[in-house]
Amino acid sequence: MAGLTLERATRRFSADRAAVDQVDLAVAEGEFLAVLGPSGCGKTTLLRLVAGFERLDDGVIRLGAETVSAPGLHVPPEDRRVGVVFQSYALWPHMTVARNVGYALEVRGLRGAEYQKRVDAALGTVGLADYAERRPASLSGGQRQRVALARCLAMDPRLVLLDEPLANLDVHLRHAMQEEFAQFHRATGATMLYVTHDQAEALALADRVAVMDGGKLVQLADPRTLYREPATVMVAGFIGKGAVVPGLVLDGHGGHATIEVLGARVTLRAPAEARPGPAHILLRPEALSLTAGDGIAATVRRIVYQGAQNAVELAPAAAPEQTLHWLAPADASPKPGDALRLAVADGWVIPKP
């Protein structure tokens, strides 16, 4: 498998807006990278550029050492040895599972024992060896997605691209298929680029996550860093169920800072370059707890039952237009309208642009 490199990758569909804007990205050989972002952020266009379905307006794309896109150069999709798994599966209903898996090999002229070996091996890897003679209509959604994966694997691609592959599945099947994709990656060692708008999928599956906004790459990090140390207000609001609220940095020291936030004074994690002055503060639900002492004064707006715990939305007294999120034990939850105080165990000072 080859790695993937993008340098200043740009694609414009109009003169005043770039769908993909000067993106630099390096995916290591064998890495599982998720590209995450809201609708319209450019993530699907990025995938289509890598696949060869779209042409670059500027920049360079390389697969391993080979340049496949650049000004004046465009290697067509069929010559890139890139496998693509779509959310629609793109299976031929009149063909058997085995024929669907092997059709791209037929087009390339592969026949005989080598053809059968690669089809059998691909079906075995995704656990569908016993389904070779079935038609797609007789399979579940998850099984059809595995056929699409097997088709990719049989092609021996240099890179596997997955475009919202779980979007058409119900919530329970999506969770099961996440493990299927993780197992596929472990079994094949494939370099994988996984495009999704679902942050839970991205954080659960990927080695690293690239967050896009407005055509730009705004942060590239491992899931833990992305969740705990978002680089921008957009990333902080998009990843996880957190609250981004105004605060005042009083002083910074060794990766922490003393903060005044929503009427409370607390010590939170901060970038080394944090300086005194106004700042945006990220507060996660799991970092808040009920206290009888000093803390953030707030009023309960809404409670959502979640089994072992309740998701509580609160309006802080110091900024009633803001919303805090707190996870309360189900047997100790307040009621809408209750006034309470919250202690802050952790938080993050978002870096300034």
CA distances from 317 to 133, 250, 341 (A): 65, 21, 10
| 169-182 burial code (b ≥16 CB/10 A, e <16) | beeebbeebbebbe
Distance from the Cα of residue 174 to its chain's centroid = 14
pLDDT reported for residue 223: 96
Q: What is the topology classification, in CATH, of domain 241-349?
A: OB fold (Dihydrolipoamide Acetyltransferase, E2P) (2.40.50)
pLDDT reported for residue 12: 94
Contact 255, 295 (CB under 8 A): no
pLDDT reported for residue 2: 64
pLDDT reported for residue 339: 94
Integer Cα distance of 124 and 127 in angstroms: 5
Q: Which of these CATH numbers, 3.40.605.10, 3.40.50.1820, 3.40.30.10, 3.40.50.300, describes 4-228?
A: 3.40.50.300
pTM of the predicted protein model: 0.86
Which residue bears the tokens 């009621």?
335
Integer Cα distance of 216 and 35 in angstroms: 11
- Location of each CATH 2.40.50.140 domain in the chain: 241-349
Integer Cα distance of 135 and 98 in angstroms: 9
Integer Cα distance of 138 and 132 in angstroms: 12
Residue 109 makes CB contacts below 8 A (sequence gap 6+) with: none
pLDDT in 10s for each residue of the chain, 353 residues: 569 999 999 999 988 889 999 999 999 999 999 999 998 999 999 999 999 999 999 999 999 999 999 999 999 998 898 988 887 777 889 999 999 998 888 888 888 888 999 899 888 888 889 999 999 999 988 788 888 888 888 888 889 998 887 776 666 667 777 777 787 788 778 899 999 988 888 998 899 999 999 999 999 999 999 999 999 999 999 998 889 999 999 998 889 999 999 999 999 999 988 899 999 999 999 999 999 888 999 999 999 988 888 999 999 999 999 999 999 988 877 899 999 999 999 999 999 88
- Location of each CATH 3.40.50.300 domain in the chain: 4-228
pLDDT reported for residue 173: 67
Integer Cα distance of 242 and 239 in angstroms: 8
Q: How, if at all, do strands 256-261 and 243-253 pair?
A: antiparallel
pLDDT reported for residue 121: 87
pLDDT reported for residue 156: 81
CA distances from 114 to 108, 240, 341 (A): 13, 47, 68
pLDDT reported for residue 286: 93
